[in-house]
Amino acid sequence: MGRVQGKVAIVTGGAQGLGRADCEALVREGAKVVVTDIKIAEGEALVAELNARSPGSALFMQHDVRDEQRWQEVIARTVAEFGGLHVLVNNAGLVVPATPEDCTLEQFRLHNAVMNEGPFLGCKHAIPAIHKSGGGSIINMASVATHLGYPVFFAYSAAKGAVRGMTKAIAIWCQMQKYNIRCNSLHPGATDTPMIAEANKLLGIPDEFYTQSGPGLGRPEDVANVVVFLASDESRYINGAELLLDNALVIQ
């Protein structure tokens, strides 16, 4: 307990799935967390649960990560409410299955707006706040799709690939500027979340597929445990890294 005591974190897409698990783990380990999402009811319900367990530990803000002004408002309120910002988890995402030939320009732009431009805006506006707070950690949620060929998740893979490169550039920039800010990307394999369940439904993939073949289906807490580690000072020497959480899927 207390591995991130005294730290303040923003988690985008925090109302469900991986984001929810991240928020729960961070609060459990002592952080103050701002949960942001477009899902208002789910976000408010989660914050109520978190504050019931740890009073004053969480705040919800409706947040479309494509909106630059809203990013500025979220960060400003975070600092005003909790006195600073130390951790940003760029988690918000979506997936609409489509191949390179089937994918529409609208679908491609949507994926990149949410999962490429969203993290860019978050990093751009969070860096000054984290630096002013004494430094910290940016954690960008990517995917094993950046390492494997998944034609049916074409736009998703493209957006996450951009995050992979962006992460390294931000890590070096912050190091050059002596900001004391680390930036790393996480690359989970298939994880038991509502987003994956919906994608499997659209593709007709049965639940037993993951138990009968391959590395199996991960759990949200498998990712959340690594988020806590990267948010903590325990990972002070890990910077610009891409961490695979895939039970050896990529090397099979």
Q: What is the pLDDT of residues 106-146, one digit of tens each?
A: 999 999 999 999 999 999 999 999 999 999 999 999 999 99
Q: What is the pLDDT of residues 189-202, one digit of tens each?
A: 877 666 666 655 56
What pLDDT does residue 248 have? 84
CA 82 to chain centre: 21
CA 122 to chain centre: 11
Rounded mean pLDDT, 92-104 = 95
Q: Which of 22, 139, 122, 138 is nearest to 66 (CA)?
A: 122
Task: Output the CATH code of domain 8-245.
Answer: 3.40.50.720
Q: How far apart are CA 246 and CA 96, in angstroms?
A: 21
Which residues are CB-contacts of 77 (< 8 A; sequence separation ≥ 6)? 34, 59, 61
One of 156, 179, 210, 237 is an active-site residue; which one? Answer: 156
Q: Compute and round to an integer the Cα radius of gyration of the chain.
A: 17
- pLDDT range class, residue 212, cuts 50, 70, 90: very low
Q: How far apart are CA 22 and CA 223, in angstroms?
A: 8
Active site residue 156: yes
Q: How far apart are CA 167 and CA 226, in angstroms?
A: 16
Tell whether the model's pLDDT for residue 213 goes beyond 70. no
Residue 153 is given by DSSP the state: B
> How much is the pTM?
0.93
